[in-house]
């Protein structure tokens, strides 16, 4: 199966931004119209969107609902994967009912595993577990809190829970254009039976080619952020590469 590309739309204060290593003080604003950005990605041919409510990740509740809804309205036919601020079943149910195809549980996966397992069971195939790690150790609350759990140990907690995928982000590389952490991503994919989506550091078509070459080992997709916005990766070339054209 071809590597799936997930262009990222990160939301802060209703705007589309990119951070460096999750630092909210280092936000570069790319657009004030999230719906238009979503339409642009859809028109370029991307089959999914990866949306993150950054303010929600810190607040523990949705904080960019209007922006997310503008994205859902703009690309009704394109599945949206949403993370940030989803900490209870009521919030999860509401987003899935509004049109989000897949919800990402990050902080909740570490701090409330019972809820995460219940969410996976209630919505089979529509809940992914977000694993954000720094030097292999999981961080939560918008990456502001470090834990003593390894990424692999957290992933194994949900291997039999019915999660749709694991989204593995290397925090130190996120937004830095230093290249994807292929070694750590592949190690996680080999350690569990769930498909893994790589995130953080993608800088060039070479990163996509490297991931595509090992997709058969359990790497389902990759989130692309700053490299797309800064023009380092051309959308058409990226889509052609993973399609084998």
Catalytic annotation, pick one of 53, 55, 132, 207: 132
Written as six digits, the tokens of 61 are 């509740």
- Concerning whether 10 is annotated as a catalytic residue, the answer is yes
The first and second tokens of residue 212, run together, are 């595509």
Query: Which residue of the set 10, 55, 174, 207 is catalytic?
Result: 10
Q: What are phi and psi of 134, to 5 degrees?
A: -120, 115
Q: Is 230 a catalytic site residue?
A: no
Q: Please check whether residue 83 is in contact with residue 130, taking contact to mean a CB–CB distance below 8 angstroms.
A: yes
Known catalytic residues are: 10, 132
């Amino acid at each position: 199966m071809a590597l799936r590309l997930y262009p990222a739309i990160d939301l802060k204060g209703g705007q589309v931004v990119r951070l460096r290593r999750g630092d909210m003080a280092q936000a570069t604003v790319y657009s004030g119209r999230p719906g238009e950005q979503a339409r642009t990605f859809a028109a370029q041919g991307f089959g999914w969107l990866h949306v993150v409510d950054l303010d929600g990740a810190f607040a523990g509740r949705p904080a960019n609902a209007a922006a997310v809804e503008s994205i859902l309205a703009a690309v009704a036919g394109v599945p949206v994967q949403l993370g940030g601020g989803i900490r209870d079943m009521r919030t999860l149910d509401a987003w899935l009912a509004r049109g989000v195809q897949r919800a990402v549980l990050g902080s909740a996966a570490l701090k409330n595993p019972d809820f995460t397992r219940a969410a996976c069971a209630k919505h089979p195939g529509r809940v992914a577990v977000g694993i954000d790690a720094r030097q292999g150790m999981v961080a939560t609350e918008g990456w502001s809190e470090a834990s003593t759990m390894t990424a692999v140990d957290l992933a194994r907690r949900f291997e039999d829970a019915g999660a749709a995928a694991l989204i593995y982000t290397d925090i130190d590389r996120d937004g830095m254009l230093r290249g994807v952490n292929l070694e750590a991503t592949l190690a996680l994919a080999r350690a569990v039976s769930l498909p893994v989506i790589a995130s953080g550091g993608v800088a060039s078509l070479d990163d996509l080619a490297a991931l595509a070459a090992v997709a058969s080992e359990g790497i389902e997709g990759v989130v692309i952020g700053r490299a797309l916005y800064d023009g380092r990766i051309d959308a058409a070339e990226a889509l052609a590469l993973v399609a084998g054209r």
